[in-house]
Amino acid sequence: QKEVEQNSGPLSVPEGAIASLNCTYSDRVSQSFFWYRQYSGKSPELIMSIYSNGDKEDGRFTAQLNKASQYVSLLIRDSQPSDSATYLCAVNRETARQLTFGSGTQLTVLP
């Protein structure tokens, strides 16, 4: 079992719809959770970070964390074609300073 798992996709949604991206992690003592967006050929760019159970909203983005279920998700409201990218879930385990990444979910927003 991989430490951080994501559906690889591709996930396609129409413009204006809600895109839902999911991630599960195996290390129960993980502390910090991040969503990075990566455009093709570019480096990862931080979208959201979340540290405690519940929802965190930032503009069109909402991160949701459920530590009991070891599950973190990212919702993108009013999806735009410019949101088309690979979304990487990353976890910072208590015992390490580095991030552990999932393999990413490729999102395509259709105009």
Partner 1 sequence: GAGVSQSPRYKVAKRGQDVALRCDPISGHVSLFWYQQALGQGPEFLTYFQNEAQLDKSGLPSDRFFAERPEGSVSTLKIQRTQQEDSAVYLCASSLLPRETQYFGPGTRLLVL
Residues 6+ apart with CB under 8 A from 61: 35, 47, 48, 74, 75, 76, 77
Q: Which is nearer to partner 1, 17 or 99 (CB)?
A: 99
Residues 6+ apart with CB under 8 A from 97: none
CB of 91 to partner 1, least distance (A): 11
In the stretch 25-64, what mask flags binding to partner 1 with x, by CB under 8 A? ------xx-x-x-----xxxxx--x---------------
Q: Is 88 in the site for partner 1 (CB under 8 A)?
A: yes
Residues 6+ apart with CB under 8 A from 85: 37, 38, 39, 40, 106, 107
Q: Which is nearer to partner 1, 17 or 108 (CB)?
A: 108
The contact set with partner 1 (CB under 8 A) reads: 4, 31-32, 34, 36, 42-46, 49, 88, 90, 92, 96-104
